[in-house]
Amino acid sequence: MPNICSAPGCRSNYSGEPYTPVFRLPSNSKLREIWLRTLHRQDIEDLKNVFICSNHFRTEDVITEVDMPQPDGSLQKFLGDQFYIKTLYLVSSQLSQVS
């Protein structure tokens, strides 16, 4: 079962809904606090189960492939199952648009 989004009103990855990639809270405490404030959720107790789906980030900030430097100096394209965030700031205006 995929992780569901913690944004208020968001139905991403609920039963019957299409899969949407999600991101864990940042490990950096300052960035994590920004995300939590942006969520406007006072009821969250277990931070390890907080996920935010890609619908709440600007498309251009979601990276799906990375050029990884190799020991010989070349770059190898990495396409993982994981998605990566280029910036760790939620788009707060999009949180209010979710219904």
Predicted pLDDT of residue 99: 37
Dist. CA 12–CA 79, nearest whole Å: 23
Higher model confidence: residue 89 or residue 54?
54
Predicted pLDDT of residue 88: 46
Domain residue limits, the chain: 22-95
- Cα 31 from chain centroid? 13
Q: Are 52 and 34 contacting, i.e. CB atoms less than 8 angstroms apart? A: no
List, for residues 3-53, the tens digit of each pLDDT value.
Answer: 899 888 888 888 888 888 888 888 778 878 878 888 888 788 888 889 988
Which amino acid makes up residue 45? E
In this structure, what token pair is assigned to residue 42?
A: 């006072």
Query: Residues 58-62: what's their mean pLDDT?
Result: 73
73 backbone φψ class: left, alpha, beta (φ>0; ψ -120 to 50) = left
Query: 52-56, 60-64, 85-89 — which is least confidently predicted?
Result: 85-89
E strands within 25-89? 51-53, 62-69, 75-85
pLDDT band at 1 (very low <50, low <70, confident <90, very high): low
Dist. CA 37–CA 31, nearest whole Å: 10
Backbone angles phi, psi at 40, to 5 degrees: 55, 45
